[in-house]
Structure 1
């Protein structure tokens, strides 16, 4: 039986103890990060850890390029966010089910041409969480955008991975990136070229590890990847279920604005209309089930539930367990 990723909360009164390594020491050299970068939950018998890959600054227009600019500006103001650009969170997930350690997405990596120093932190933060890359038996990719695969093409990473690593990805996603179509996206200059280059390099280096699936794949007991399409043709979500509990890692099917404005088109969506349909269907399912949701670009730790709010939805973050 694998060790849990975090100790489960215990009931009853306990003496409060503050670990010295988490204490604020102004000016002290070598202090660990003040902002937490990992958060663990337990779904039945399955351990889940959300790990921050950092943040990615992008124009606010990317949140809804089909929206009226005034409406988009109003939403940003109401959320106390800057009007022109803000930091998108980047999250990945580690799952332990039975004897398998599964990584869901692999972060942005380090692309020197994009100058994104606050992103691409996943490998460092996995090490800080005592998660050895060599212990990862399976990798599930929601899709092949570079903020989900870039960590795999960082120099030295492949050598740390198991030679028998299984990478699960929808067959439609692999096929799409052989000749990707960006005609319906609305990305900042340079991003399409960077996305193409990263996907091409990833497929070249890891093709022998790929385990493509058509519509659904049970990666481990209680861990099921399901193709949704929309954001990209082979985009998938991963549901983790055990002991009557469930959590869905939605990848890029849901963005922060998608609860209030689920029909707004994100600039990275290759089929915006289908992406909106997928988003609304997924949010309805989660609102009905009450199961947990985690997504790549929701504010860390990105753990919460979905409620219906009129014709749209409401994001309900969990109360943190300490």
Structure 2
């Protein structure tokens, strides 16, 4: 296994007209060779998470102590990166998640530029595999003209997750601050439904890629174990949401999770597995391209970039 880091600056010379349009940089932040597999993380930009969106359900006294140790302010918003994973293997060009597209937030939606910088045209993508249906993972499936952005790709999502967002009653059963997510997901799935293949936990959805249920952040959130021989990487999506609080206190409830109790149990179990196996992981919102390892740190964990 070989890990490299590089920055590919977007410019007109990248070969696609869209590459010259974004005022932000798009780059491939990390790359790992896994047997015959080539895995690259691509930055889709970043999102802003208001402090209460993450911290509100926690014990506020314990939170204040943790923030003081970390030198973080209680009311400071979090601004995590968004890392889309690109896998090239045996003639397949696979994306894990589709990014935000242009309809979610002005600070994200850079995946088209990042793909251009990596020399990949959207028409070359053969499969798009989704961890879950939140806007920063799903909304990039359509372009600005409501056409499929990856026109030749098969799209794959866990059945439970797809059914949740495709259900027209979901918008009436979730909290008000997430209803926009439900409306946006339903609209995109209505357009794309016939392009989706659904799967269950434990299935090998493509050669060398196995689905692992990591429910809680959303009802059907999935991670994916990517393996070639004795080497493997786990693409964890939002099952591990950030590089500090999630590792220091995986058992604390996070406001961003739909089922906070389940998500905390999932997070702790996943970190325990990753630390025990010393398996590389890619987190959608983790720094340094999201690629790293989980190490034990006393009774908790820490993220170590690869």
TM-score by length of 1: 0.80
Partner of 2:213: 227
Structure (1 or 2) with the greater helix fraction? 2
Task: Decide which of 100, 105, 117 is 2:97's aligned counterpart.
Answer: 105
Q: What secondary structure is seen at the aligned counterpart in 2 of 1:57?
A: coil
Per-residue Cα deviation, 1:3-62 (whole angstroms, up to 9, x for no partner): xxxx977xxxxxxxx99979xxxxxxx9x9678553211112211011111111112233
- Rate the CA distance shift 1:232–1:212 in 2: closer, same or farther, 3 A: same
- Rate the CA distance shift 1:216–1:152 in 2: closer, same or farther, 3 A: same
Distance in structure 1 (CA, Å) of the matches to 2:272 and 2:8:
43
Cα drift, residue 71 of structure 1:
3.2
Cα drift, residue 159 of structure 1:
4.7
Q: After TM superposition, which residue ranges in structure 1, 4 or more long, deviate above 4 angstroms?
A: 18-22, 32-37, 181-185
Partner of 1:144: 133
| Cα-Cα RMSD | 3.0
Stretch of structure 1 that moved more, 136-145 or 210-219: 210-219
Gaps of 5+ in 1: 1-6, 10-17, 23-29
- Rate the CA distance shift 1:217–1:75 in 2: closer, same or farther, 3 A: same
Matched, 1:43 2:34: yes
Matched, 1:203 2:193: no
- Rate the CA distance shift 1:286–1:19 in 2: closer, same or farther, 3 A: closer
Cα drift, residue 74 of structure 1:
4.0
Task: Decide which of 261, 270, 278 is 2:266's aligned counterpart.
Answer: 278
Gaps of 5+ in 2: 11-20
Matched, 1:316 2:304: yes
- Rate the CA distance shift 1:160–1:59 in 2: closer, same or farther, 3 A: closer
Stretch of structure 1 that moved more, 116-125 or 249-258: 116-125
Task: Decide which of 277, 288, 295 is 1:300's aligned counterpart.
Answer: 288
Task: Decide which of 235, 240, 256 is 1:268's aligned counterpart.
Answer: 256
Distance in structure 2 (CA, Å) of the matches to 1:88 and 1:126:
20
Matched, 1:134 2:123: yes
Partner of 1:14: none
Distance in structure 1 (CA, Å) of the matches to 2:27 and 2:85:
15
Contact 2:27 2:117 in 1 (8 A): no
Per-residue Cα deviation, 1:139-178 (whole angstroms, up to 9, x for no partner): 1100111110011133147455234x21111111122121
TM-score by length of 2: 0.84
Contact 1:182 1:192 in 2 (8 A): no
Matched, 1:66 2:57: yes
Cα drift, residue 228 of structure 1:
2.4
Bigger Rg, structure 1 or 2: 1
Cα drift, residue 279 of structure 1:
0.7
Contact 2:57 2:255 in 1 (8 A): no
Paired residues, number? 290
